[in-house]
Chains A and B, each alone.
Chain A
C-alpha cells in the first residue's frame, strides 16, 4: 500500500514544485550567473568577467551609502514599529485600568482597533500620493500648512521635507511606521488575547502599574510574536523600493537629493534598466539576497528565548 501513496502525493506536488523551480529558483540561479558577466541588459552578448562586479561594489560609494541607509532603516523601522504597536495593543487590551472592574482596554478600544488597521489596506501607490500631499514643500502641504498655521514656520521658507538631505530618509521611515503599526497592533492584540486574563489580574493584584505590567509581564509573554514581527520588518527595511522611487527626487527611481534617500533596491534598478549595467545590478541583487538572509537569521537568533507555556 505504501508505495502507492507516492504517485498520489507527487501528482499533487509536481505542478507547484515545477512552477516554483521555474519561476523562483531558476531566476535566482540565473541572476547569480549574470552577476559574473558584463551583461548590459539588452543585447544577448556578454562576457564572463569573474568576480569583478563584486569587487567593484566594494568601492562604489553610492552602493555603500545605500547600504548604510538600509542599515539605518533596519534598526529604526522594527524598533519604532514594534514598540508603538506593542504600546497600542497593550492600551487597547489591558491598559485601561486605574478603576475597579479588572482588566480591560481603554474606552473605545474596539473602535481604535479598526481605525489603526486602515493604513494597512492602502496600497503603496496610494500611500505615495497621500504622503506627497502631506510632505509638499509649500504651505499647501499638510505638514507645512499646519506648521505655518501654528506659527512654527515661515510660509516664505518652508521645510522641503522630501528635498532636504537631512529629513528625506526619516520622512520615508515615518510613512512605513504609520502604515505598519496597525498590522502589528492586530498581530500583538491577537497574541495578547491568548494570554490568560488571570495573569494580568494577578499582576494588577500584585500592585503592578501600567508600565510595570507592560515591561515585566506583557513584553516577555509576547516575545514569540515580537520575534516574528522583527523578521517581517527587517525584510521590509531591506526593500523600501516603492516609496523611494515614487516620492524622492532624482533621475530614474529617485534616491535623491544627492543619494540621501538611496537604498539598495533603487540603486539596483537604476543600474539594471537605466545605466545598462545589468550584470553589475545582478551582483547587487545577489548581495541583497544574502544580506536579507543573514539579517533574518540574526534577527531570529538574537531574539531567541525559552518558549513560554501557559
Chain B
C-alpha cells in the first residue's frame, strides 16, 4: 500500500510547445480511489501513463510512497494497469494471462496457481481459466484484465477507461463491482474516465482536468456542491448546470423577475474587477416552479424566469424540461427537473426560481467561483 504524489509533473510531447500535462499537483492518500476526469485531450490518460512509466516526465516528479519513480522503468514501480482495450495476451489462456507477471517474477508454479485461482474466485472467472481471451465476452475480458492486476498485489492500480468498451448496463454493474473490490482490497487506485457519472459514483475524490491543467480535486459531494470554476460547474452533473450571465444589482443579481441574493463580498469582488455581470449557476434539480408565493420584483408578473418548454425528457421517476428563456435581454437555454407525475407539455410556459442557497456564482471574466 502506498501514497502517490504528482509534484509539478509536466509532460510536453516532442514537437509540441503546449504541455499535455501542465504542472500537475495531486496527493493521493494510501488506499484512496482517485478518479481523473475531463474531456478528451485534457491530459488525464497522459497523467496516468506518466505514473505508469509509459510516458516520459519532462519536469517535476512522481512519487509512490517515499520512492521517487519519475525515471524508473515501469517494471520497477510496483503498479498494475487495466487498459481500455484490456490488452490481454491473445495467445495465452485466462490463467496464463493472469499469472504472467508472477511467472516473469519467478514465483513458483504452485503459488501462481493458488493466487490465480483466488483472484478468479473473486471475479467469478473460475470456469473460464483454461479459455483463450477470444472465447470470452467483453465483460469477462474486462474481469480478466482486472484479475491480471489483482493477482500481482501491486502498490497501486491504474485503470485507463476500463469500462468504456462495455455496454451501458454492464458498465453500471461493473462500476459498482470495481468500486467495492477496491474498497475490499484497499489498494490505492488511480482511475481515468471521461464519464463524469463514473467519476462521481466511484471515486473517493475526483480530479477534473482541462487542457492539461488541474481544475479541482475534491470529494464528489464537494465537487457537486462547490465547483471551483465555470468549467467544473458545467462538467460535473448530468444534465449540466444552467449557467446564465446576469447583471449585478443591489444585494444580489436579477434573475428574470426575481432577485437572487448573493453574498456581498462576492459581488464586491466581481465589480472590483470591472465586471457588470456575474454568471449564475443553477442545477436543473434546484429550480422550483414558482407558484405565486415567491417574492417577485414587479407585482404584476409571476416571480422568476419564464421558461418556454421545447423538449421534455421523461425518465419515469422524474423528467427534464429543456426550454428557452429570456434573461437579461438574451435568449438562454434552461434545463429544469420536474417531478415525474407533473410533467409539462411542449409549448407550456413555466415560471422557475432557483432554490435558496443552491445557486453558484462565478466571475464572468475569470470563471472563478465567487460565492462560497
Contacts and interface: CB of A to CB of B under 8 A. Distances in A.
Interface of A: 97-103, 196, 198-199, 201-209, 212, 216-217, 220-221, 223, 306, 308-310
B83 A202 contact: yes
Contact of A202 (B57, B71, B87, B134): B87
Contacts of A102: 49, 53-55
A205 B74 contact: yes
A103 B73 contact: no
A284 B79 CA distance: 63
Contacts, number: 89
A204 B87 contact: no
Interface residues of B, number: 32
Nearest to B135: A309
Contacts of A216: 100
Interface string B43-73: 0000001001111110000000000001111
Given A101-B55, A101-B56, A212 B104 contact: yes
B87 A206 contact: no
14 contacts: A99-B56, A100-B71, A101-B54, A101-B55, A198-B85, A202-B87, A202-B88, A203-B100, A205-B52, A206-B148, A206-B152, A207-B101, A216-B100, A308-B91
Contact of B90 (A204, A205, A308): A308
Most buried by B among A100, A196, A306: A100
A99 B71 contact: yes
Contacts of A223: 91
Nearest to B90: A308
A109 to B, nearest CB: 15
Contacts of A306: 91, 132
Most buried by B among A201, A205, A221, A306: A205
A98 B76 CA distance: 10
B80 interface: yes
Contact of B134 (A201, A212, A309): A309
B105 interface: yes
A206 B154 CA distance: 11
Contacts of B80: 205
Contact of B104 (A201, A208, A309): A208
Contact of B54 (A204, A206, A212, A221): A204
Contacts of A310: 90
A107 B56 CA distance: 15
Contacts of A221: 90-91
B56 A206 contact: no
Most buried by A among B55, B75, B85: B75
B81 interface: yes
A201 B54 contact: yes
Given A198-B87, A207-B105, 16 more contacts: A98-B73, A100-B74, A102-B49, A103-B54, A198-B85, A201-B54, A201-B83, A202-B89, A204-B53, A204-B74, A205-B52, A205-B101, A206-B104, A221-B90, A306-B91, A309-B134
Interface string B142-169: 0000001000100000000000000000
Given A97-B73, A220-B91, A202 B81 contact: yes
